[in-house]
Structure 1
Amino acid sequence: MKLEPELRDRFMAETAADDRPAAQVMRELMRDYIDRRQKARDYDDFLRRKVEIGRRQWDAGLHVSNEEAEAEAAARRAELLRRIGEADA
């Protein structure tokens, strides 16, 4: 791995100030980088699958308009509020 001398010197100074071996810190940084990249790939895969499912549902006609979804949600809210009102009575 090639590093600029100034970057290497500053890194070595900081690890020495923390009384930690530079190699240990580098391993931690590498593991953290690998973990972040894996999580990003996993999320991208998850999102891709969700989009594919949505597209298949759309193609199969298994969708509702925004207006229909809002109307259904409003009806559910009204029903829940009615039940709460009955329970309080």
Structure 2
Amino acid sequence: MAKQAVFTMKLESELRDEFMAEAEAAHRPASQVLRELMREFIKRQQESREYDEFLSRKVEIARASVQAGRGRSNEEVEEEAMLRRAELLREADEAGQ
């Protein structure tokens, strides 16, 4: 990859020295390590943003469903779960005997 730009940043001398030492210990140029860290950061940020957008769409769909009367109350969901748990426990007890 051809050099496209120079990136200058300020940081503590100790942090720079430790980073350079670790890059050298890993037998890798510090610039390569920084590029990889930057790419990883960009990827994490993009994935986070994509997930937030996905979650926002899911919430909007759920809200629209509730507003249209297709949703269930928390009490209904809890009651159904309680009945299902009781049924599963009963089946487990019968299978164990």
Q: TM tier, shorter chain?
A: 0.7 to 0.9
Q: TM-score, normalised by structure 2?
A: 0.73
| Secondary structure of residue in 2 paired with 1:35 | helix
Structure 1 Cα separation of the partners of residues 53 and 92 of structure 2: 42
Name the amino acid aligned to 2:50. Answer: D
Name the amino acid aligned to 2:9. Answer: L
Question: Structure 2 unaligned runs (5+)?
Answer: 1-6
| Secondary structure of residue in 2 paired with 1:49 | helix
Task: Quote the sequence identity (%).
Answer: 53
Structure 1 Cα separation of the partners of residues 63 and 43 of structure 2: 30
Q: Which residue of 1 aligns with 2:9?
A: 3
Q: Which moved more, 1:17-26 or 1:54-63?
A: 17-26
Deviation at 1:9, TM superposition (A): 4.4
CA distance change for structure 1 residues 7 and 82 in 2, over 3 Å: closer, same or farther? same
Count of residue pairs the alignment pairs up = 89
Deviation at 1:17, TM superposition (A): 3.5
Determine which of 41, 48, 51 is the counterpart of 1:43. 51
1:24 aligns with 2:32: yes
Contact 2:23 2:33 survives alignment (8 Å): yes
Deviation at 1:14, TM superposition (A): 3.5
The alignment yields a C-alpha RMSD, in angstroms, of: 2.3
Encode CA deviations 1:36-67: one digit per residue, 9 max, x unaligned.
11111111111111111111111111122222
Higher helix fraction: Structure 1 or Structure 2?
1
Q: TM-score, normalised by structure 1?
A: 0.78
Structure 1 Cα separation of the partners of residues 14 and 47 of structure 2: 28
